[in-house]
Chain A
């Protein structure tokens, strides 16, 4: 029981949780060395913000086995909520962001409570509907949201300092991603995380060991919605602009693809998925007309050669090579 703090720290660093977290921190710290100009910084920031959504969404899809096709709705609502509160009502952004994210959490709770009690694909249907509704409301309520053209968002300000520029935002987004990954890893290795995985493994067995399945599905749904809202609000303040496209069905599908591509039930998989699928379209722009074809081919090839997603499949290869 009496273990020195040093060996404790070492053991933490050697565990997949601690080691992965350290590796991610190292990547974030060293990446600026190779980021040549602001354009690369911008992509890195988008990667980090998308990864936050995917880490949350992966808790829902990969661990609890529930599909949401409406997370872009939560993402956009997080952004619009903070934009409207700070832009139109003059709230300080450090207050408008958490308020907006909390409101999204409440919305997810209200929507999830009736739908998560249903079995099968009803959650996918309901969240799909929610996403569509959000997208329509944001486009049509133009007096509040600026309509299809979107609205401008005041910069994030902390104690009177406005946070501008790619370099500042890189560190904000990087820190937020580290925090999101840390929270998600903690959650998975807790009794709550085991309950979620149990639901995915066998819902009936989970119930017979006392896990209230509906309540746990609702919890993880709300958490994943809040992760999306946080990333949405940060994206809006960073870009200084937000449009209803952020709530579109296609954006929801992109988020799900990132999770599946990187690897379900793998926090780092979600990060890798977001990184690859945010960067790839940027790289493929040189192909012009063939961009979407090559993008699709990459997706198909990945699912053929990495059937469980990139990170879990590679982890399996590594384990086999070591044996």
Chain B
């Protein structure tokens, strides 16, 4: 049985259909990528998967439980964590406090226990601190432990968001363009991190424009175009899918170079597993 079942969801903003009748299933413990040209509706879809937008129609089920229409914090409580394309770091806190805040769902703390600082709370805080430290090390940010988050470089903040999302121990982790704006070395580190998360059993949904990263880490790729599902399958199948190539490059009117021809140049552009040729939108 699939972990996350998305059925026929649609979302319109005014007269614009951002997502139109998209369905897919997410299997546990794998890396699923959602790709598509700019404006295809990828972020809209992620926002629906976290309750930030409510779909106009359709259903979103996690472990068989309907989540559509629930507030965002219930999606989180159900086990969906995420990062943001445009950073949403708590800039009024240190790096460590950001991650500790991510533990929110794993802590029970009444208002009175908080104000009186009960011994039980002191112990819980000590263990929360340890977990947060471990997560910062995990994403390679040990040196930033006491840094104010507004003084950290962009690449580190991207990873801080991942650590914060991991702190809640989510069943499904949504990464919205984790490699955007990163240099090659940093992107490679993200690549390694995603693979190790999947190896540990976290289900990852990745939205990303860096095709090299997508093709390398994904078990399964879903292609969106103009709010509709265009194709899905293994990275290799997607890279050679004529519909996908057409969506990315447009139809060629010149009959001498048919669009559906064996896509040597194309797959280099989209990137084959383990090969060069990163493609940025």
Contact = CB atoms under 8 A, between A and B. Distances in A.
Most buried by A among B100, B105, B117, B128: B117
Contact of B111 (A192, A200, A201, A265): A192
Interface stretch (B13-21, B87-95, B187-195): B87-95
Interface string A182-214: 011011011111110110111011111111110
Most buried by B among A190, A202, A209: A209
Contact of B114 (A193, A205, A213): A193
B50 interface: yes
Contacts of B75: 208
Contact of A194 (B76, B100, B113): B100
A194 B168 contact: no
A223 interface: yes
Interface residues of B, number: 40
Most buried by A among B89, B91, B104, B167: B104
Given A186-B116, A187-B115, A190-B114, A211 B107 contact: no
Given A186-B116, A210-B168, A223-B111, A202 B71 contact: no
Contacts of A186: 114-117
Interface string A156-185: 000000000000000000000000000110
A219 B88 CA distance: 24
Contacts of B275: none
Interface in A203-237: 204-213, 219, 223
Contacts of A184: 115
B109 interface: yes
Contact of B90 (A183, A192, A205): A205
Interface in B99-124: 100-105, 107, 109, 111, 113-117, 121
A205 B104 contact: no
Which secondary structure dominates where chain B touches chain A?
A: helix
B72 A204 contact: yes
Nearest to A63: B92
Contact of B109 (A190, A206, A210): A190
A209 B163 CA distance: 11
Contact of B165 (A195, A209, A212): A209
Given A197-B90, A201-B89, A209-B81, A183 B115 contact: yes
B72 A208 contact: yes
Interface residues of A, number: 29
Which secondary structure dominates where chain A touches chain B?
A: helix
Contact of A191 (B71, B73, B109): B109
B84 interface: yes
Contacts of B164: 205, 209
A272 B105 CA distance: 35
B109 A209 contact: no
A195 B73 contact: no
A208 B87 CA distance: 13
A197 B71 CA distance: 20
Contacts of B84: 204-205
Contacts of B102: 209
B88 A191 contact: no
A210 B116 contact: no
B228 to A, nearest CB: 26
A64 to B, nearest CB: 11
B82 interface: yes
A201 B92 contact: yes
Contacts of B104: 191, 194-195, 198, 209-211
A207 B72 CA distance: 6
B3 interface: no
B52 A204 contact: yes
A190 B117 contact: yes
Contacts of A219: 111
A275 B28 CA distance: 58
Contact of B93 (A191, A194, A207, A213): A194
Nearest to A192: B114
B138 to A, nearest CB: 17
Contacts of B165: 208-209
B114 A202 contact: no
A190 to B, nearest CB: 4
Nearest to B124: A191
B77 to A, nearest CB: 5
Interface in B242-259: none
24 contacts: A190-B113, A190-B125, A191-B103, A191-B104, A194-B97, A194-B100, A194-B101, A195-B101, A197-B92, A198-B101, A201-B89, A202-B88, A202-B89, A204-B72, A207-B71, A208-B50, A208-B72, A208-B76, A208-B82, A208-B165, A209-B76, A210-B105, A211-B73, A265-B92
Q: Which 4 A-B pairs have the closest CB atoms?
A: A201-B90, A190-B114, A207-B72, A210-B76
Given A186-B115, A190-B117, A210-B73, 8 more contacts: A186-B117, A190-B113, A190-B115, A191-B125, A194-B100, A194-B101, A207-B72, A210-B104
